[in-house]
């Protein structure tokens, strides 16, 4: 079967090959309607760019590295899958690596050590510091994601993500609007990379203050990591210490799934007695019984923003790029 070319896609849509190239490479201006038709034609025809020819022609390899802490965690696995899908629609190939939160691995991968020629690196760090970023030197363009990254991003480095404080406040306010008054915060961290916990706790605190509800330390459920086991243990401690609560704001969906397990083992009905709110909008949460609400952090919007930045022919100064979130009520 002959290779599908830009010209084939252009003929299918009825536009010039240059217009198709602009969409594939993220350059120039193309209306949303035409862009949508071109992407649909790319999917339909199975167009894939010739990476070697592209690099010779414009100095771009069409390769992007996506570096995350742990692919076992549903949020990172789903982010990776959806990012790859959005990149493929632009004719890009994504190489995925995981660091397990190791600083040495993060330092190596932020510069592309051990990887082929890249058009950009997208990194979700846990241990990287601002000083590490300052020593990058000549390296592919870097875009940071994640809350820990937001605290260290500086000049020349872009960060893409939601406003975690605002999102957490909206999630907590939703529980309050349901009449919940004793809302436990599941995900408070006292050591390690704590940026996500701190930002989401601040939103929780602001929502309680806005509703004139007391901030009660007894309702702070601490965890070491954002996973099911920690969510389960945190709620178990609340129950063992006879802490009354009528809602749980879990700082991740994985924590919420663990919390729901423990509520179930104790015969505590959800949502009649305890309402549960998660964070991340992972697919597993859509099919869980009992259902729980969550915060959708705009993964596809974030992916498109990242790809737009990397595809820009103009090198822009580093900045935070905020993407929208949504409260998913179930």
The residues spanned by each domain of the chain are: 6-48, 56-161+299-323, 164-296
pLDDT of residue 120: 93
**Class level of CATH domain 164-296:** alpha beta
Range 98-118 burial, b when 16+ CB lie within 10 A, else e: bbebeeebbbbbbbbeebeeb
pLDDT digits (tens, 9 = 90+) for 169-213: 999 999 999 999 999 999 999 988 899 999 999 999 999 999 999
pLDDT of residue 83: 97
pLDDT digits (tens, 9 = 90+) for 271-281: 999 999 999 99
Name the band, by pLDDT with cuts 50, 70 and 90, for residue 27.
Answer: low
pTM of the model: 0.79
Domain 6-48 sits in CATH 3.40.430.10:
no
Q: Which one, of 80, 63, 66, lies nearest residue 119 by Cα? A: 63
Query: Would the pLDDT of 315 be above 60?
Result: no
**Residue 66 in contact with residue 95, Cβ under 8 Å?**
yes
Of 228 and 192, which is predicted with more confidence?
Answer: 228
Backbone angles phi, psi at 101, to 5 degrees: 70, 20
- Percent with pLDDT over 90 in the chain: 69
Residue 289: CB atoms within 10 A of its CB come to 8
- β-pairing verdict for 275-277 and 63-68: unpaired
Query: Would the pLDDT of 237 be above 80?
Result: yes
Name the band, by pLDDT with cuts 50, 70 and 90, for residue 319.
Answer: confident
CA angle 203, 189, 282 (to 5 degrees): 65
Cis bond before residue 171 (omega within 30° of 0): no
Architecture of domain 56-161+299-323: 3-Layer(aba) Sandwich (3.40)
Mean per-residue pLDDT for 65-86?
95
DSSP state of 293: B
Range 81-90 burial, b when 16+ CB lie within 10 A, else e: eebbebbebb
Instruction: Choose the weakest-confidence range: 142-156, 219-233, 243-257.
Output: 142-156
pLDDT of residue 56: 40
**164-296 has the same fold as 56-161+299-323:** yes
């Amino acid at each position: 079967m002959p290779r599908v070319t830009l010209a084939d896609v252009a003929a299918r849509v009825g536009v010039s090959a240059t217009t198709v190239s602009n969409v594939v490479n993220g350059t120039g201006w193309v209306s949303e309607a035409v862009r949508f038709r071109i992407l649909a034609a790319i999917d339909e025809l199975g167009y894939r760019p010739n990476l070697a020819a592209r690099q010779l022609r414009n100095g771009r390899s069409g390769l992007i590295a996506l570096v995350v802490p742990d692919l076992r965690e549903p949020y990172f696995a789903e982010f990776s899958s959806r990012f790859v899908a959005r990149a493929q629609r632009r004719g890009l190939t994504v190489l995925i690596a995981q660091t397990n939160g190791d600083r040495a691995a993060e330092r190596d991968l932020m510069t592309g050590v051990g990887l082929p020629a890249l058009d950009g690196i997208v990194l979700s760090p846990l241990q990287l510091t601002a000083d590490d970023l300052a020593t990058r030197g000549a390296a592919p363009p870097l875009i940071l994601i994640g809350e820990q990254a937001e605290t260290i991003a500086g000049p020349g480095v872009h960060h893409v993500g939601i406003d975690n404080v605002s999102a957490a406040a909206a999630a907590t306010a939703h529980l309050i609007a349901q009449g919940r008054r004793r809302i436990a915060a599941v995900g408070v961290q006292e050591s390690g990379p704590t940026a996500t916990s701190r930002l989401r706790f601040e939103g929780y605190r602001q929502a309680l203050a806005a509703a004139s509800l007391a901030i009660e330390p007894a309702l702070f459920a601490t965890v070491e990591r954002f996973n099911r086991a920690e969510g389960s243990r945190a709620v178990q401690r609340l129950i063992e210490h006879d802490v009354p609560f009528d809602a749980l704001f879990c700082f991740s969906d994985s924590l919420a799934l663990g919390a729901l397990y423990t509520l179930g083992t104790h015969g505590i009905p959800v949502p009649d007695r305890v309402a549960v709110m998660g964070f991340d909008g992972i697919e597993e949460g859509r099919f869980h019984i009992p259902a729980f609400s969550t915060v959708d952090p705009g993964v596809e919007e974030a992916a498109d923003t990242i790809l737009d930045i990397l595809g820009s022919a103009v090198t822009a100064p580093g900045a935070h790029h905020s993407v929208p979130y949504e409260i998913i009520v179930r």
